[in-house]
């Protein structure tokens, strides 16, 4: 699909589910492959990024079968992966390449990881450096910072690492290497990033302790196979939370969404802006909190965000920019420089594209400033830059724009939410 046309929407009504959680899906596949016994994963995300992880794991000798939309994964144990006979293609997925770098650094064989054009431009030093401190033998382009990455796996030793970035990918890569290392691995984050790895490892019997921003992992414990139910992705729900808030007269129920507190920054900020969002039917499944979310349209006011909340809504900042564009008063996002090294430079991409629609948005080095409700956005031609979250954010902006919005490279949504367009159509009728 090349481009998609969005027109001004009528009130959005109904009850929906969204794509399954991408972060939890990657982890469920990788951790199950390292466990003893057969894991059963229900509601695994069916999207290109997870296909990348499954393809890599199959090339590492893992038996993955699908039966009635349930995935069965035969674990090979912590040391049981096989040397791949080809380059492991991680596609567009940063989580796949960074997590697998941690796994493969400690497996006794040679492997090479690479991705698509976007992934091969994304920095890997953040995982390479701590893994090298553990004794890993890793090579990459440009002094080891960019894929393709070549790994000569070997026995590693545990480290005590003070991470300079709040990154769940970095934290998880170190933990995965630490599972096979000699001695304790300790990690301290500057701010709390998503903690799905810690939850899942604990549920699988790993000897892991979390104390605030610190984590300690004692190796030597095999992981036991588990039954997982993957919740809906709050990062996918976010597009509909904002859509139903800003399209007048809307009322939407979004069911079975993961509401782990390390992911709910978007709900907190939207509520602070005046959004009408309520959580119902809260429950905990497999160590992860889930809820149904009710959202009704409301007026928004401006907000300034920075600091500890940023890692808890990092992927939601492009869609939050759309909410900020219709708020009364000015809004500002700071300390979000991480956005520049995602699937695309998301600060530049959202500023350029919303700017084309007439939104008064100013690009800052580490974020953006938005004047707020100056005028309605104008329907024009915009582009996703091949980035799934930019495509979906622009679609939501199109729902309130005057005239038609044409989104180029709209097929990018297949990375995380292939049914996005159908879901949007169903509630816009
Ligand atoms: C992810 C962590 C985040 C997030 C990404 C998925 C994960 O990246 O932006 O979409 O699954 O661990 P960082 O860990 O680099 O912040």
Shortest-distance atom of ligand 1 to CA 22:
11
Q: Is the CB of 310 under 6 A from ligand 1?
A: no
Q: What percent of the chain has pLDDT over 70?
A: 100
Q: Give the strands of the sheet with 276-285, arranged side by side.
A: 13-16, 251-258, 288-296, 276-285
Average pLDDT on 321-327 reads 97
Q: How confident is the model at residue 286 (pLDDT cuts 50, 70, 90)?
A: confident
Segment 166-192, tens digit of pLDDT: 999 999 999 999 999 999 999 999 999
Distance in Å, CA 335 to ligand 1 centroid: 16
Segment 78-104, tens digit of pLDDT: 999 999 999 999 999 999 999 999 999
CA dist 364 and 332 (Å) reads 9
Q: Is the CB of 25 under 6 A from ligand 1?
A: no
- Residue 244, φ and ψ in degrees, nearest 5: -70, -25
The owner of tokens 């030793």 is 157
Total Cβ atoms within 10 A of residue 82: 12
CA dist 285 and 83 (Å) reads 35
Residue 289 in tokens: 């909190």
CA dist 272 and 101 (Å) reads 39
Residues 6+ apart with CB under 8 A from 157: 134, 135, 181, 182, 183
CA dist 90 and 99 (Å) reads 11
CA distances to 116, 188, 197, 215 from 170, in Å? 20, 11, 11, 13
pLDDT at residue 157 greater than cutoff 90? yes
**Which residue among the candidates 315, 345, 366, 387 is catalytic per the annotation?**
315
pLDDT at residue 377 greater than cutoff 80? yes
**What is the average pLDDT value for the chain, to the nearest integer?**
97
Q: Is the CB of 193 under 6 A from ligand 1?
A: yes
Closest residue by CA, ligand 1 atom 10: 315
Q: What is the pLDDT of residue 1?
A: 64
CA dist 351 and 128 (Å) reads 31
Q: Is the CB of 39 under 6 A from ligand 1?
A: no
Q: Are 256 and 231 spatial neighbours (Cβ–Cβ below 8 Å)?
A: yes
Residue 85 annotated among the catalytic residues of the structure: no
């Amino acid at each position: 699909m090349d481009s998609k046309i969005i027109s001004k929407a009528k009130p959005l009504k109904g009850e929906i589910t969204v794509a399954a959680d991408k972060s939890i899906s990657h982890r469920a596949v990788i951790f199950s492959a390292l466990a003893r016994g057969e894991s059963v994963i229900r509601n695994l995300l069916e999207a290109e990024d997870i296909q990348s992880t499954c393809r890599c794991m199959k090339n590492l000798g893992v038996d993955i079968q699908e039966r009635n939309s349930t995935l069965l994964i035969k674990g090979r144990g912590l040391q049981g992966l096989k040397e791949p006979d080809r380059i492991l293609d991680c596609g567009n997925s940063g989580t796949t390449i960074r997590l697998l770098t941690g796994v493969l650094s400690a497996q006794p064989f040679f492997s090479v990881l690479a991705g698509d054009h976007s992934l091969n431009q994304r920095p890997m030093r953040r995982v390479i450096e701590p893994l090298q401190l553990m004794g890993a033998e890793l090579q990459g382009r440009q002094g080891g910072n960019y894929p393709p990455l070549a790994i000569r796996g070997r026995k590693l030793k545990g480290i005590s690492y003070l991470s300079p970035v709040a990154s769940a990918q970095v934290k998880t890569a170190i933990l995965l290497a630490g599972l096979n290392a000699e001695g304790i691995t300790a990690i301290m984050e500057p701010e709390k990033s998503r903690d799905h790895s810690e939850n899942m490892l604990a549920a699988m019997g790993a000897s892991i302790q979390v104390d605030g921003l610190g984590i300690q992992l004692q190796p030597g414990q095999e992981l036991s196979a588990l039954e997982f139910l993957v919740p809906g992705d709050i990062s996918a729900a976010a597009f509909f939370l904002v859509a139903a808030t800003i399209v007048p007269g809307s009322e939407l129920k979004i069911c079975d969404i993961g509401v782990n507190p390390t992911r709910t920054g978007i709900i907190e900020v939207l509520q602070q802006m005046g959004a009408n969002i309520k959580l119902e039917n809260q429950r905990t499944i497999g160590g992860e909190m889930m809820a149904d979310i009710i959202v009704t349209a409301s007026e928004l006011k401006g907000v300034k965000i920075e600091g500890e909340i940023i890692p808890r809504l990092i992927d939601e900042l492009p869609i939050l920019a759309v909410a900020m564009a219709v708020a009364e008063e000015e809004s500002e996002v700071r300390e979000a420089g991480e956005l520049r090294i995602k699937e695309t430079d998301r600060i530049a991409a959202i500023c350029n594209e919303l700017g084309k629609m007439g939104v008064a948005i100013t690009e800052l080095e580490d974020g953006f400033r938005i004047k707020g409700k100056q005028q309605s956005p104008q329907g024009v031609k915009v582009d996703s830059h091949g980035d799934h979250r930019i495509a979906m954010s622009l679609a939501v902006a199109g729902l309130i724009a005057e005239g038609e919005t044409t989104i180029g490279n709209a097929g990018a949504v297949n990375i995380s939410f292939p049914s996005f367009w159908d879901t949007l159509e169903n509630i816009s009728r």
